[in-house]
Amino acid sequence: MSRSRRTLLSLAAPLVIVIVLVASMTAAADEPPIVLHKLDGTETTVDAVLGHGPTMVVFWATWCRYCKEEIPRIKEAQARYGDRLCIVAIDPGIRDSIEKVRTYVKHFELTYPVYFDAAQQTRARFELAGTPTFILLDAQGHERARTEKVDFKAIDALLAGKN
């Protein structure tokens, strides 16, 4: 291969990468918003729920025993971090109903916001492999950590800006 052809190929590769990135960002921006159901029956979107400072998003299900086991640690995080960390719980709608979610929230006296994804769209958007899944988002909404349990060290790092 000639030197000029190699130079041309080396210059073209970054341009192709930029084009692909811009195309994927445009496609993501064109996606319809993911609708979540509040427990009072009204609707909101994922984008409206997230992005209000550092956030721990809890993906859970009423039938998930590991989710149930994490409730005391979620409540501890809520007490420990107060207004510095927003906690949001989303049931991704897998084998669940909003009625079951309402009963569960009342039974376990959950005081953080809880939402239900009837259309099961959060599974794909957040690439969920199962429940529970805890995702820590920074103040700009970027994912900084993903765990299967409440991780106080990861939360401390997030709030200290060390992620």
The pLDDT score that the predictor gives to residue 1 is: 61
The dotted CATH code for 35-159 is: 3.40.30.10
Residue by residue, pLDDT tens for the chain (163 residues) are: 666 555 544 554 444 443 333 444 444 557 889 999 999 999 999 999 997 899 999 999 999 999 999 999 999 999 999 899 999 999 999 999 999 999 999 999 999 999 999 999 999 999 999 999 999 999 999 999 999 999 999 999 999 987 6
The pLDDT score that the predictor gives to residue 49 is: 93
Hey, where are the domains in the chain?
A: 1-30, 35-159
The pLDDT score that the predictor gives to residue 31 is: 80
What distances in angstroms separate CA 39 from CA 29, 92, 105, one per listed residue?
28, 14, 9
The pLDDT score that the predictor gives to residue 32 is: 87
Indicate the burial class of 160 (C-beta count within 10 angstroms; 0-12, 13-18, 19 or more): exposed
Give the separation between CA 49 and CA 44, rounded to whole angstroms: 7
Q: Which amino acid is at 82?
A: G
pTM: 0.80
